[in-house]
């Protein structure tokens, strides 16, 4: 559906903020776009939506080159993109009107966007008076009026309370289920882990890691997380290099103790400690992210 090939871009003649980026996204897939401040995420998003022209490379949607104002691409920007003095409904009618829809279709889409973002209860409220979470929802509602095939969300949950965040994540899941391709930039790795099918990590204008989320998380590694039913004694902690993480969870470092998984489990059981739960061979996205950025820093 979306294909980005060899994209480069610089804000100034001698600058290169985007340096040879390629990625692909299918219908109903969510790409989590990660990277530290200034990595180039927003710039890449602006290139994909056609707001910025690439220096080289190309972006196509369903085989067609993208252009600014493409009907099938909608952007939910970081900043609030509506008129604060207008009510929620007036904003939706205004932005829907820009799409040049027939009156009945416009009404259907406004009603649908209100329902999808659960903003029906505040349709007549002045947009500037909404809470931060509801403003974010209005930003999304405006993008949904387009019924886009590709939706780009640039840090949609920044400064949003947990309840509104859960709502927004659920809305993203529903859009994905309806076949919308989604690019989701965020600094909240747990959030990306919860919704993304694919992840791309950017650093200094390049993608330094990308792949399906489950592949990135399931790379074999040497840590075993154990939930124990009693406190292990010092001897056991030493024997299997066990350190407490969050009570009653402990982490065993197989490299440090020189044991394999079966031997470590046996040692715990022999010490009379029960294992209630065990995680092995899966890494949290945060760990994957920090490791790949540390690697990029070491080899600039
Ligand atoms: N309008 C601009 N003119 C010149 N340089 C810019 C402009 N916008 C961004 N930059 C620079 O381009 C680089 C990438 O910025 P960008 O905003 O795309 O990063 P980001 O990954 O989205 O960061 P953040 O996570 O803070 O939003 C940074 O070095 C930034 O200073």
Secondary structure, 3-state, 192-240 = HHHHCCEEEEEECCEEEEEEEHHHHHCCCCCEEEEEECCCCCHHHHHHC
Phi, psi of 71 (to 5 degrees): -60, -30
Stretch(es) of the chain classified as CATH 3.40.50.300: 2-217
User: What tens-digit pLDDT sequence spans the chain (300 residues)?
Assistant: 999 999 999 998 888 899 999 999 999 999 999 999 999 999 999 999 999 999 999 999 999 999 888 889 999 998 899 999 999 999 999 999 999 888 999 999 999 999 989 999 999 999 999 998 899 999 999 999 999 999 999 998 887 888 888 888 888 999 999 999 999 999 999 899 999 999 999 999 999 999 999 888 876 568 888 999 999 999 999 999 999 988 889 999 998 999 999 999 999 999 999 999 998 876 788 888 888 888 777 666
Ligand 1 atom 16 nearest Cα: 40
* Per-residue model confidence (pLDDT) at position 215: 86
Closest residue to atom 8 of ligand 1, CA basis: 43
- pLDDT at residue 186, as a whole number: 92
Atom of ligand 1 nearest to the CA of 45: 18
206-212 and 249-253: which strand pairing? unpaired
Q: Which of 17, 75, 184 to mutate to test the pocket of ligand 1 (most atoms within 8 A of CB)?
A: 17
| Per-residue pLDDT, 292 | 87
- CA pair distance 156, 144, nearest whole angstrom: 14
In the block, tokens 């010092």 appear at 234
What's the CA gap between 45 and 42, in Å, rounded? Answer: 5
Coil, strand or helix: which one is 275?
strand
On the 0-12 / 13-18 / 19+ scale of CB atoms within 10 A, 24 is middle
Write the CB contacts of 108 (distance below 8 Å, at least 6 apart in sequence): none
Q: What is the pLDDT of residue 15?
A: 83
User: Three-state DSSP class for 267?
Assistant: helix
- At 231, list the tokens: 């406190």
Q: Name the residue with the closest Cα to ligand 1, atom 12.
A: 17
Domain 2-217 CATH assignment equals 3.40.50.300: yes
Q: CA–CA separation, 183 vs 134, rounded Å?
A: 21
The DSSP bridge partners found for residue 257 are none
Where in the chain is CATH 3.30.70? 223-280
Q: Return the pLDDT at 7.
A: 95
| ipTM exceeds 0.90, yes or no | yes
Distance separating alpha carbons of residues 199 and 141, to the nearest angstrom: 25
* Cα–Cα dist 184/152, whole Å: 6
* Helix runs in 99-233, H state only: 103-116, 132-144, 162-177, 189-195, 213-217
Residue whose CA is at the smallest distance from ligand 1 atom 5? 11
Q: Considering only CA atoms, which residue is closest to atom 26 of ligand 1?
A: 37
pLDDT for res 212: 94
Between the alpha carbon of residue 162 and those of residues 47, 133, 147, 209, 223, the distances in Å are 31, 9, 26, 29, 30
CATH number of this structure's domain 223-280: 3.30.70
Neighbours of 177 (CB within 10 A): 9
pTM: 0.82
Ligand 1 atom having least distance to the Cα of 205: 14
CB-defined site of ligand 1, < 6 Å: 11, 17, 35, 37-43
**Spacing, Cα 53 to ligand 1 middle (Å):** 15
Choose the residue to mutate in 7, 9, 13, 41 for probing ligand 1, maximizing ligand atoms within 8 Å of C-beta. Answer: 41
Q: What is the pLDDT of residue 179?
A: 94
């Amino acid at each position: 559906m979306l294909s980005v090939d060899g994209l480069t871009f610089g804000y100034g003649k001698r600058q290169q903020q985007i340096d040879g980026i390629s990625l692909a996204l299918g219908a109903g897939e969510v790409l989590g776009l990660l990277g530290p401040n200034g990595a180039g995420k927003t710039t890449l998003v602006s290139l994909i939506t056609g707001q910025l022209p690439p220096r080289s490379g190309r972006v196509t949607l369903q085989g067609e080159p993208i252009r600014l104002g493409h009907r099938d691409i909608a952007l939910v920007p970081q900043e609030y993109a509506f008129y604060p003095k207008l009510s929620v409904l007036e904003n939706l009618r205004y932005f829907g009107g820009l799409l040049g829809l027939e009156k009945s279709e416009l009404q259907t889409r406004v009603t649908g966007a209100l329902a999808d973002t659960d903003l029906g209860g505040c349709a007549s409220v002045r947009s500037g008076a909404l809470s931060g979470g509801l403003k974010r929802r209005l930003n999304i509602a405006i993008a949904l009026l387009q019924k886009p095939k590709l939706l780009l969300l640039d840090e949609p949950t920044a400064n949003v309370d947990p309840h509104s965040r859960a709502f927004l994540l659920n809305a993203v899941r529903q859009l994905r289920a309806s076949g919308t391709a989604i690019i989701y930039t965020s600094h909240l790795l747990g959030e990306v882990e919860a919704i993304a099918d694919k992840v791309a990590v950017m650093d200094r204008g390049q993608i330094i890691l990308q792949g399906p989320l489950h592949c990135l998380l399931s790379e074999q590694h040497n840590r075993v997380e154990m939930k124990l039913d009693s406190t292990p004694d010092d001897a056991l902690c030493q024997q299997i290099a066990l350190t407490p993480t969050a009570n009653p969870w402990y982490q065993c470092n197989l490299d440090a103790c020189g044991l394999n998984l079966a031997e470590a489990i046996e040692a715990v059981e022999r010490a009379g400690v029960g294992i209630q739960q065990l995680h092995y061979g899966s890494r949290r996205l945060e760990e994957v992210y920090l490791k790949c950025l540390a690697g990029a820093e070491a080899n600039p």
